[in-house]
Structure 1
Amino acid sequence: MWHGLLLAAFGGALVGMQNIFNKRVGERASSWTTTTLVLGMGFAASLLMGLLTEGGQLFHLQHMKLWYGFSGMIGVGVVVCITQATKLLGPTYATSIALISQISFALWWDTQGWMGLEKVPFTLNQAAGVLIIICGILMFKFGDRMNMLGGLFRVKRLEKE
């Protein structure tokens, strides 16, 4: 389990770093150029690493539905959307919104058992967890405004007493 937690944390750090790099490339190139560059370099790197570690076995795709291989096209949408969102919202807020969407959809897919996933019953704990994450992100983004409003309400209450 610890190995999975470390890999997930490291993957999250890499996604955060990639978003910033993609934003920088996007400042000097179009969205499609950025996507082509990012995914093209990713393809070359993964092909090289796959050949070095797996050799010819890299292309032996047994018991896989053909249409699963098209998930790379989803990657195009990921890079385009996140690059544009990062440009418009900044890296932290864009990543936060993407995290909410990602965890919500993962939970939805898990509970439905789609694409061969083991069906997981939806619980109140899961709903509470997602809501806590959403509230945390809202506090992160709008915390100063919330504190200001709380201070205004506190002042008005004191004046009434």
Structure 2
Amino acid sequence: MIQGVLMALLAGTLVSLQNIFNAKVNEHVGSWTTTTLVLGMGFLASLAGAVIFAGQSGFPFSQMKLWYWFSGMIGVGVVICLVQGIRLLSPTYAISIVLISQLMFAILWDSLGLFGLVKVPFTPKQLIGVLVIVTGVLLFKVGGRVRQSTLPNGYQ
């Protein structure tokens, strides 16, 4: 379990870092070029990893359901939406909203047993957890407002 927690923490760190980098790339080349670069580099890195660590056994496509092939297209939507969300809101606020959305949909899909997942009952504790997170994001956003007149010259 500890290894799973550590991997999840590392994934969160890497996603947050990637989102910031993606937003910076987007400032120079636009959303579609950013998405092409991100997913293209990701393809090359994952292809190299699969070849190095799994060899030919890393490509068992015949056992895959047809609709799994559309995952990459979902990735396009993820990158485009995140880059634009960060541009319009700020990294912290956009990623907080993404995390809330991920949590709520993960609970929904688990509770309904969708996409081949084992059905996990929805509990009041899960509802309280989501509400605490949403409240935290709202407090972060509302509590973080600073009037422009209080900032020193040159700061926004």
User: TM-score, normalising length from structure 1?
Assistant: 0.87
Question: Which residue of structure 2 aligns with residue 59 of structure 1?
Answer: 59
2:120 equivalent to 1:120: yes
Number of residue pairs matched by the alignment: 145
- Structure 1 equivalent of residue 92 of structure 2: 92
Q: Deviations over 1:113-156 (max 9, x none)?
A: 001101111110000000000001111111256xxxxxxxxxxx
Specify the code of the residue in structure 2 equivalent to 1:105: F
After the TM superposition, list the runs of 4 or more consecutive aligned residues in structure 1 that deviate by more than 2 angstroms: 61-64
Q: Which amino acid aligns with 2:79?
A: V
The match for 1:25 is 25
Partner SS for 1:129: helix
| Paired position in structure 2 for 1:134 | 134
Matched, 1:47 2:47: yes
Tell me the distance in 1 between the aligned counterparts of 2:118 and 2:26.
Answer: 38
Larger Rg: 1
Where does structure 2 lack aligned partners over 5 or more consecutive residues?
146-156
CA distance in 1, matches of 2:63, 2:51: 21
How far did 1:102 drift?
Answer: 0.5
Partner of 1:35: 35
Offset at 1:95? 0.2
Percentage of pairs with the same residue: 58
What SS does the aligned partner of 1:111 have? Answer: helix
Structure 1 unaligned residues grouped into runs of 5+? 146-161
Q: Which moved more, 1:90-99 or 1:57-66?
A: 57-66
